[in-house]
Amino acid sequence: MNKTTTTDEYLVDKVDVKYLVKHNLLSSGSQASIYCKRAKGVFKELNTKPYVIELDEREDGSKIQDALSEIVGRRTVPQVFINGKHLGGSDDTVEAYQSGELAKLLGIDSSRKTDL
């Protein structure tokens, strides 16, 4: 009997993906990726540090990416989660930053934001 694995049950080499996405998480691929750098830059501008998973630096990175893609429906990086909510990729993160929505989700003052 085949059991379907749901994202609620998805464990990847002792990394509980469901647990990870409940927090401020940025999954990243190539550190040279302009998209990953942009997303990381947004958090730096807001002086906050998400938990970053560098998928290309982990032996289980591909498995984690598979699990995340089941949750969000795409394999691209970065993918950003804020307090359990999938924010999106780089463009979505920059847009949320510029509109003030990201700071609101993080519960911080966005009056010091700059344009990226």
15: pLDDT strictly greater than 90: no
3: pLDDT strictly greater than 50: no
**Which residue range forms the structural domain that includes residue 80?**
11-106
- Residue 69 domain-assigned? yes
CATH classification at residue 16: 3.40.30.10
Burial 25-55 (b: 16+ CB within 10 A, else e): bbbbbeeebebbebbbebbebbeeebebbeb
5: pLDDT strictly greater than 50: no
- Residue 82 domain-assigned? yes
Residues whose CB falls within 8 Å of the CB of residue 8, separated by 6 or more in sequence, listed in order: 18
For residue range 55-114, what is the model confidence (pLDDT) as tens digits? 998 888 888 888 888 889 999 999 999 988 899 999 999 999 999 999 999 999 766 555
The number of distinct structural domains making up the chain is 1
Provide the whole-model pTM. 0.79
For residue range 25-45, what is the model confidence (pLDDT) as tens digits? 888 887 678 999 999 999 999
Structure tokens at 80: 């950003």
Residue type, 85: K
